[in-house]
């Protein structure tokens, strides 16, 4: 080898991101909407200093390099401080999903070996249900979000108050762990993903690129996506890297509150799952004149498939852009983004919408391929369906202390995503299903995502989820669960007639079940397993 003479041993760590924030962007602001609706506002100078104080306080409590420090909190400035302080003192930030059942939280915090948990005061009733089962837990620190810290707990503010705003960072190896996040499994235990400093830095850098999230120092970023959901899609570290201001929504995520915040704080980028944006669109459709959100550059949407009708609705009726991203907890999370390439910009709105509604093409350093059941790599022809596999510097190489899922990692170094996709000659990925949601009717695959997207384009429909029901003749048939918009309805025949123009007859759902609400997971995705549990036998009963 003719060896490189560059400083290849320079360590990529989150310390550089925190230092960058404090050095170059101290005057940019961080805004939090508190539980009572009041606004907390401070600068990155305060955020930087308080992160150092938190690191000093944790060190005083005995937190050592490699120790796991859990957080149980809404999106707030204190949670941002924890994001910055914990990894840069060499400890591991473990974000706990506050929407999980206490049994799952007990398993996850215990499995991760959390020695400290920093929790919002408003979430203490939840914490108290599981903390006794976390054998490694030594301290609970309370962030007083909605009132004073109760007796018997360490108060975050008191704890950091006397600490120095200088902090002596340890030497951190870029391959050491920085953060952890568990991903829910429908079968087996939750699986822990351990992010490193190097992986987090490289992910943040790539995510910030213009054709990825396009973050800049001038941006004002509202992560509606919770900070416990896959690093809030990289936005906090992306902000540290670029200096973008952060606008944290706190615990209230109702559409009017979000729109108020977007207008008042001149938000330029807002990020959330499709359900959130669907609610915002419905409200704007009622009366858009209430909010001036003209500062908004785009809404980032991901976590599950964004219906084309929603993307088009925002654009056509309100002139607002959405950027659709695909990712996974195991991918830090960003894998691909749906940006229209230059050569297709003039190809007309149909092409543009098709591109924007796809899962897009991979960001740099994420390799993609899709394979059949035998593991044969499939062609990028836009038609052949197979399981998506990925690899790259911020993709998990294994789960934390969990052998149940070892077969998710292939012998030649790829991660099996569990998503069934097509890839076209331009590299655009289209997810047709998660493998566990696939419908096989008489031996043919039917895409639940394609059907849902089409049903949600019907003017009477607010939300629709398509799932497999057992069938005496065809093994499985699609059933749709639908939620109508207020005051609207449609019959099965009308809905099928609406779909017929785009789908073969055998794809059409056997029935439409009107439900008050589609069950959702802890991060707001359709929970089709619950629909299958409830209605899976519906067609066996002669319906
Ligand atoms: P969980 O497995 O608990 O849902 P993740 O948030 O990591 O946790 O989920 C990743 C999965 O979410 C992906 O494998 C994919 O099925 C789905 N997903 C994420 N983004 C999109 C998207 N833009 N379109 C369709 N599906 C998506």
Ligand 1 atom closest to Cα of residue 525: 4
Q: What is the mean pLDDT of residues 7-21?
A: 98
pLDDT, mean over the chain: 96
Banded pLDDT at 404 (limits 50, 70, 90): confident
> Which residue has the CA at smallest separation from atom 11 of ligand 1?
328
Residue 119, pLDDT score: 98
Least confident of 106-115, 160-169, 498-507: 498-507
Pocket of ligand 1 (CB under 6 A): 183-184, 230, 302-305, 324-329, 359, 417-419, 431, 434, 523, 525
Residue 142 has pLDDT above 90, yes or no: yes
Residue 459 CB burial class (10 angstroms; 0-12, 13-18, ≥19): exposed
Residue 100, pLDDT score: 93
Q: Which of 409, 16, 9, 403 is nearest to 175 (CA)?
A: 9
Ligand 1 center–CA 515 separation, angstroms:
24
Distance CA 7, CA 505 (A): 62
Which tens digits make up the pLDDT trace of 487-534?
A: 999 999 999 999 999 999 999 999 999 999 999 988 888 999 999 999
Q: How remote is the C-alpha of 354 from its chain's centroid?
A: 22
Paired tokens of 145: 């979000």
Catalytic member of 445, 474, 485, 534: 445
Q: How far from each other are the two terminal CA atoms of the chain, in whole angstroms? A: 70
Indicate the top mutation candidate among 271, 337, 419, 465 to test ligand 1's pocket, ranked by most ligand atoms within 8 A of CB: 419
Q: What is the mean pLDDT of residues 17-21?
A: 98
Could you give the residue ranges of the DSSP H alpha helices within 266-366? 274-286, 308-318, 349-357
Residue 392 has pLDDT above 80, yes or no: yes
Q: What is the mean pLDDT of residues 120-141?
A: 98
Catalytic member of 290, 316, 341, 440: 440
Which tens digits make up the pLDDT trace of 312-357?
A: 999 999 999 999 999 999 999 999 999 999 999 999 999 999 999 9
Banded pLDDT at 184 (limits 50, 70, 90): confident
Which tens digits make up the pLDDT trace of 42-86?
A: 999 999 999 999 999 999 999 999 999 999 999 999 999 999 999
Q: How many Cβ atoms are within 10 Å of 517's Cβ, its own excluded? A: 9
Paired tokens of 335: 């894998």
Q: Which residue has the higher pLDDT, 543 or 507?
A: 507
Catalytic member of 88, 183, 422, 448: 183
Q: What is the mean pLDDT of residues 457-463?
A: 95
CA distances to 111, 120, 123, 405, 445 from 107, rounded to whole Å, are: 6, 20, 18, 17, 36
Residue 96 has pLDDT above 80, yes or no: yes
> Which residue has the CA at smallest separation from atom 4 of ligand 1?
184
Ligand 1 center–CA 181 separation, angstroms:
14
Banded pLDDT at 443 (limits 50, 70, 90): confident
Residue 542 has pLDDT above 90, yes or no: no
Catalytic member of 174, 265, 330, 452: 330
Ligand 1 center–CA 523 separation, angstroms:
10
Residue 507 known to be catalytic: no
Residue 186 has pLDDT above 70, yes or no: no
Distance CA 203, CA 299 (A): 20
Banded pLDDT at 199 (limits 50, 70, 90): very high
Ligand 1 atom closest to Cα of residue 184: 3
Which tens digits make up the pLDDT trace of 288-319?
A: 999 999 999 999 999 999 999 999 999 999 99
Q: What pTM was estimated for this model as a whole? A: 0.95
On whether the CB atoms of residues 253 and 229 are closer than 8 A, the answer is no
Percentage of residues of the chain with pLDDT beyond 90: 94
Banded pLDDT at 541 (limits 50, 70, 90): confident
Ligand 1 center–CA 328 separation, angstroms:
5
Residue 55, pLDDT score: 98
Q: Which long-range contacts (CB under 8 A, 24 or more apart) does 167-173 make?
A: 167/51, 167/52, 167/53, 167/55, 167/56, 167/88, 167/89, 169/15, 169/88, 169/89, 169/90, 170/65, 170/89, 170/90, 172/11, 172/13, 172/15, 172/65, 172/88, 172/90, 172/197, 173/11, 173/197
Residue 445 known to be catalytic: yes
According to DSSP, the β-strands at 177-183 and 191-196 are antiparallel
Distance CA 484, CA 466 (A): 15
Residue 185, pLDDT score: 64
Distance CA 241, CA 17 (A): 5
Residue 440 known to be catalytic: yes
Cα atoms in the 13 Å half-sphere on the side-chain side of 95: 29
Ligand 1 center–CA 326 separation, angstroms:
7
Written as one string, the DSSP assignment of 58-98 is HHHTT--TT-EEEEE--B-HHHHHHHHHHHHTT-EEEE--T
Residue 523, pLDDT score: 87
Q: How many Cβ atoms are within 10 Å of 264's Cβ, its own excluded? A: 15
Sign of CA dihedral 157, 160, 164, 169: negative
Indicate the top mutation candidate among 193, 361, 525 to test ligand 1's pocket, ranked by most ligand atoms within 8 A of CB: 525
Residue 543 has pLDDT above 80, yes or no: no
Residue 187, pLDDT score: 64
Ligand 1 center–CA 449 separation, angstroms:
12
Which tens digits make up the pLDDT trace of 144-155?
A: 998 999 999 999
């Amino acid at each position: 080898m003719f060896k490189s003479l560059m400083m290849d041993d320079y360590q990529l760590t989150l310390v550089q991101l925190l230092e960058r924030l404090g050095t170059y962007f101290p005057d940019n602001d961080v805004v939090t909407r508190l539980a009572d609706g009041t606004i907390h506002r401070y600068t990155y100078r305060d955020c930087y200093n308080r992160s150092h104080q938190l690191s000093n306080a944790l060190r005083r409590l005995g937190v050592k390099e490699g120790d796991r420090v859990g957080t149980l909190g809404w999106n707030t400035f204190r949670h941002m401080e924890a994001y910055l302080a914990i990894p840069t003192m060499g400890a591991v930030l473990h974000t706990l999903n506050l929407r999980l059942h206490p049994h799952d939280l007990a398993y996850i915090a215990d499995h991760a070996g959390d020695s400290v948990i920093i929790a919002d005061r408003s979430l203490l009733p939840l914490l108290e249900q599981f903390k006794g089962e976390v054998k490694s837990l030594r301290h609970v620190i309370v962030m007083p979000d909605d009132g004073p810290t109760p007796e018997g707990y360490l108060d975050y503010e008191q704890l950091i108050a006397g600490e120095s705003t200088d902090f002596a960072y340890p030497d951190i190896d870029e391959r050491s762990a920085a953060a952890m996040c568990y991903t829910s499994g429908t079968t087996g235990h939750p699986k822990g993903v351990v992010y490193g400093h190097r992986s987090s830095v490289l992910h943040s850098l790539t995510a910030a690129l213009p054709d990825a999230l396009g973050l800049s120092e001038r941006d004002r970023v509202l992560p509606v996506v919770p900070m416990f959901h896959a690093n809030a899609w990289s936005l906090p570290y992306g902000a540290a890297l670029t200096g973008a201001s952060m606008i944290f929504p706190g615990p209230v995520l109702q559409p009017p509150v979000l729109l108020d915040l977007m207008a008042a704080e001149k938000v330029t980028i807002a990020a959330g799952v499709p359900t959130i944006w669907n609610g915002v669109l419905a409200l704007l459709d009622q009366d858009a004149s209430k909010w001036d959100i003209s500062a908004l550059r785009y809404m980032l949407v991901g976590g599950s498939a964004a219906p084309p009708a929603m993307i088009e609705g925002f654009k056509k009726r309100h002139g607002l852009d959405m950027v659709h991203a695909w990712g996974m907890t195991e991918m830090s999370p960003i894998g691909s983004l749906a940006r229209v390439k230059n050569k297709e910009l003039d190809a007309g709105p149909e092409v543009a919408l098709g591109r924007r509604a796809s899962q897009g093409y991979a960001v740099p350093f994420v390799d993609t391929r899709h394979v059949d059941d035998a593991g044969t790599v499939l062609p990028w022809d836009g038609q052949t369906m197979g399981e998506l596999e990925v690899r790259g510097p911020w993709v998990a190489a294994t789960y934390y202390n969990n052998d149940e899922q070892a077969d998710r990692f292939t012998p030649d170094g790829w991660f099996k995503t569990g998503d069934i996709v097509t890839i076209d000659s331009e590299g655009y990925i289209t997810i047709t299903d998660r493998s566990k949601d696939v419908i096989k009717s008489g031996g043919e695959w039917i895409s639940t995502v394609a059907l849902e997207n089409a049903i949600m384009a019907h003017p009477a429909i607010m939300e629709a989820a398509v799932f497999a029901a057992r069938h005496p003749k065809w093994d499985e048939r699609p059933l749709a669960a639908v939620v109508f918009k207020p005051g609207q309805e449609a019959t099965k025949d009308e809905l099928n007639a609406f779909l017929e123009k785009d789908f073969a007859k055998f794809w059409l759902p056997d029935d439409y079940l009107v439900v008050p609400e589609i069950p959702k997971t802890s991060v707001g995705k359709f929970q089709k397993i619950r629909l299958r549990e409830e209605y899976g036998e519906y067609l066996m009963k002669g319906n």
